[in-house]
Chains A and B, each alone.
Chain A
Amino acid sequence: MEGKDWLDKLRNALSLNPRQKGADQWPDWYRKYAELPHQLAPGKQAFRELDVVVLDAETTGLNPRKDQLLSLGALRLRGHTIRLKECFEAYLPTPEELRDSTAVSVHGIVPNSLRYRYTDLTSLMEEFLAYLGEAVIVGHHIGFDVEMINRALAGLGAGPLKNRVLDTALLAQKIHPPGYWTPQGEYALDKLARRYKISLSDRHTALGDSYITAILLLKLLSRLSEKRGRDLLVEDVFG
């Protein structure tokens, strides 16, 4: 209940945002997405029945106000299964002024390399929202990725993401609360992956990180389920 109120408030706040164009000026592809019911799953529903999309955005930096999206990778979970056929992966051309930026070396994305199929921001968002639908969004420190996507959407005259969001970093803390022995830094994706024995070979591509996050999610959920002594309900995970 609390979550619903909060979401409604947020929706109102966002619609008052001066940068936000009115709903009547939304591009068609966003309208199609926004018109989906976007209902919250009832708390007593089994979590594994939910449609889940694990996503990761690679960006030129960590400042949402200045930095831009470089690529977006996402995987869809069905219960305990990841179908590689149904993954989403798209790259944007590196912005001119950032060709020499450090992010390029971190992500190993060579600017405008022939290895990737590039797309423009509008088609990326259009395809991504069609892919995403009403799924629960899962990611590691996902607040940042959502913020980056929302800003990009706003720039295209569209509204923000309407999906429910789950952060694996917070989920990890639920299982292993932070304390003297586990400082906050222990919840970084690398550290958690090591703790839960997940191979890190694909780090720093959007899809590779989504994959690691997806495995992390599954391992965390099974530990939480063990802790609760039952199959997880929606309220066990979000509550």
Chain B
Amino acid sequence: MANQVAQRVYDFLKDIPPFHFVDNEEALLRVARRVEVQYQPIGTTVFAPGEPPRDRFFVIREGSVELFSIGEDGEERLVERLGEGEVFGIRPLLAEDNYLFLAKAAEESLLYAVNTEGFKELLPNYPQLTNYLATSMAGSSRYALEYQAARNREPEGNWGGTDYTGPDLLELQRVHRARPPITCTADARIVDAAKRMTEHNVGSIVVVDKKDHPIGIITDRDLRRKIATGLKSLDALITEIMNEPVICIRPDVTVADVQIMMVRYGLHHLVQTEDGTNKSPITGVISEHDLLVLQGNNPAVLVREISRAKTTAYLRSLRDRSERLLKVYLEREVSISFITSVMSSINDEITRKCIKFGLARMQADGMGNPPALFDWMTLGSQGREEQLLRTDQDNALIFEDVGKKRHAEVKAWFLKLAGYVTEYLHEVGFDYCPGDMMASNPLWCLSVGGWKEQFSFWMNENTRENMLHTSIFFDYRGVWGDGSLPGKLTRHIFTELEGKSSRFLASLGLAALDNPSPLTFFRNFVVERSGEHKDQFDLKARAMRPLTDAARVLILEARKGQVNNTFRRYETLAELEPQNAELYREAADAYEVLIRLRALIGLERNDSGRFIKPEELTRTQRLLLRNSFRPVREIQSLLEVRFQLNFLR
């Protein structure tokens, strides 16, 4: 029987994650029919920390909801702002835990409260749905925070697992190294079991029979629920409160399998046995926490492998592997600040390795050691630690002043080195820069004095071309070498800024406005009118560049030279200018969204992800993109006002 209202709910749900995984109309309609439509006036609370979840989670039909974490001082900190089509409040249900966050309506909102009975029944039939929930819970920044908060509240032991080695990627990683199980027999009293758990600093204990087969498990949660509440006496037998039968896994399952099992059965601990059933001896226990440790551990392995690499071919394969890691992170919605710092350290490590290869080659050529102190600098997005995909090389070299007589000879030495290094980087998969902004170009392999002159020229002659150069060269960062030379350059720039600064900053601001902000209407992007990318949206030029350019000029104006990364620049600016803090934070968030989107699309198409066809985006992606345009426009108008650019134009 077609109930029109339930039909509309169904129409809405069927297109959004995670419901879009349910391709059975009847099954999803059953979920839709049990939905409760909940109206939230602006500022009203949906749920508060400590409240138990009532058999429901929420989908935003219209409006927006903000999640806050409450600090010990009672201060509310914004964790996430959610918009139309987004789901929240699902973790406490699956984990059978209380809410940790405060959820409030940021606008007048309509929510669909989805009943979990009915929804939970879908889980066994739709592995993708389960997988989605498992990974989004394990990966996203919000859930990571929730985990962290949950851990802080109930400290649990930190068992083994950290010594995991092996270069496999997360999704392929096998859980060989579960912690050795802490066990007791069925005749133990609850108090004995609790003592053993405390002694070994673990969150669970397995009850085994004479043959070491698991017959039950008790966790911290059971002790809290059944003992602390006075339901059972401490002297009762352990069998009175244990959970049975025990859900078991084989020793060779992957991390992904474990995550899925945990979500499917709503468990935090799984027991490993020899054959994966409870009719064989126990070999280990794995907890949710162990999984997180495994996950955080992985990039370190890659970085170590890079430092051990002997050939550029192996480096290339490691970079390919880190790109797969990147893909997993993106799919699991791991926070962008984490991803960028991991990928930057991988890129930096590869660069360092290539420089070492280059130095060794110079030795082999009989050129000996470097004739002077030097630093290798990366520029542009790698300089800002924001590079996720392998894009073109942008780098430069700075060496100490050596006096007129030796200068030509020293420069020739470093040019030759730079030639090798850029070649090796090319072999690893970083293409040569089409604009030749590389250390192997004599223009960009300079002494400290040479660079100072160059920067003074750029800052005094505010031509359009110079402004373009500044947008790349002002984001330099030393990755290898003596380490002191880039700092000298920074000090020089700030000295130059005194006095004639306003004109330079205004020009820089003007350059930041060069790219008109994208339109704000849904599905209505400014697309390129002609050329190779006709009818595509230039993500880099129209949305990312305005944000990086604005961050750079604002941070220069604030005289903060050491802050090299766009999000950190906005964070710093938010601290310096509380009156604009909200806008800066939104800009930082928008930038994260754009980086993520670009990387996802780039990985999918195996290119830089710069140009987007609006129709190839998912509904959520379009929404995110649209939302990120507002801060772009607002930041641009802030620049206009601040540097009075309207007069200059």
Contact = CB atoms under 8 A, between A and B. Distances in A.
Of A83, A84, A115, A116, chain B has the most CB atoms within 10 Å of the CB of A84
Nearest to B115: A85
Nearest to B32: A84
Interface in B27-54: 32-41
Contacts of B110: 215
B354 to A, nearest CB: 57
B9 interface: yes
A215 B39 contact: yes
B3 interface: yes
Contacts of A202: 4-5, 8
A117 B34 CA distance: 20
Interface string B1-32: 11111101100000000000000000000001
Contacts of A205: 4
Interface string A57-84: 0000000000000000001000011111
A134 interface: no
Nearest to B38: A81
Contacts of B34: 84-85
A84 B4 contact: no
A88 B33 CA distance: 12
B36 A87 contact: no
Interface residues of A, number: 26
A83 B2 CA distance: 16
Nearest to A201: B8
Contacts of B222: none
B528 interface: no
A107 to B, nearest CB: 12
Contact of A83 (B3, B36, B62): B36
A82 B36 CA distance: 5
A87 B5 contact: yes
Contact of A117 (B1, B6, B33, B40): B1
Contacts of B9: 84
A111 B359 CA distance: 87
A81 B2 contact: no
A214 B38 CA distance: 11
A141 interface: no
A145 interface: no
A84 B37 contact: yes
Contacts of A80: 38-41
A59 B33 CA distance: 26
Nearest to A218: B39
B113 interface: yes
A75 to B, nearest CB: 8
Contact of B113 (A81, A197, A201, A207): A81
A84 B8 CA distance: 11
A208 interface: yes
A3 to B, nearest CB: 27
Contacts of B5: 75, 84, 87, 202, 207-208, 211
Given A219-B108, A222-B41, A222-B108, A81 B4 contact: no
A59 B266 CA distance: 50
Interface in A202-239: 202, 205, 207-208, 211, 214-215, 218-219, 222, 225-226
Contacts of A214: 37
A87 B5 CA distance: 9
Given A117-B1, A205-B4, A211-B5, A85 B33 contact: yes
Contact of A82 (B2, B33, B37, B62): B37
Interface string B571-613: 0000000000000000000000000000000000000000000
A49 B2 CA distance: 31
Interface residues of B, number: 22
A81 B5 CA distance: 14
Of B34, B36, B40, chain A has the most CB atoms within 10 Å of the CB of B36
Contacts of A197: 62
Nearest to A204: B4
Nearest to B1: A117
A218 B33 CA distance: 21
A82 B5 CA distance: 11
Given A202-B4, A202-B5, A211-B5, A84 B38 contact: no
Contact of A84 (B35, B40, B41): B35
A27 B32 CA distance: 37
Contacts of A215: 37, 39, 110
A89 B5 CA distance: 11
A215 B9 CA distance: 14
Contacts of B41: 80, 222, 225-226
Of B4, B33, B36, B113, chain A has the most CB atoms within 10 Å of the CB of B4
Given A115-B2, A215-B39, A219-B108, A84 B33 contact: yes
Interface in B283-320: none
Contacts of A225: 41
Contacts of B108: 219, 222
Contacts of A84: 3, 5-6, 9, 32-37
A202 B129 CA distance: 30
A216 to B, nearest CB: 10
Contact of A81 (B6, B8, B39): B39
Interface in A36-50: none
Contacts of B2: 115-116
Interface in A112-146: 115-117
Contacts of B39: 80-81, 215, 218-219, 222
A207 B7 CA distance: 11
Nearest to B5: A211
A73 to B, nearest CB: 8
A82 B8 CA distance: 14
Contacts of B4: 89, 202, 205, 207-208, 211
A89 B37 contact: no
A219 B40 CA distance: 9
A81 B3 contact: no
Contacts of B37: 81-82, 84, 211, 214-215
Nearest to B11: A201
Interface in A82-117: 82-85, 87, 89, 115-117
A222 B8 CA distance: 24
Interface in B428-474: none
Given A80-B38, A211-B37, A226-B41, 11 more contacts: A80-B39, A82-B37, A84-B9, A84-B33, A84-B35, A84-B37, A89-B4, A116-B1, A219-B39, A222-B39, A222-B41
21 contacts: A80-B39, A80-B41, A81-B38, A81-B113, A82-B37, A82-B38, A84-B3, A84-B5, A84-B6, A84-B34, A85-B36, A116-B2, A117-B1, A202-B5, A202-B8, A207-B3, A207-B5, A208-B5, A215-B39, A219-B108, A222-B39
- Report the 7 A-B pairs with minimum CB-CB distance, sorted nearest first: A222-B41, A218-B39, A82-B37, A80-B39, A211-B5, A208-B4, A83-B36
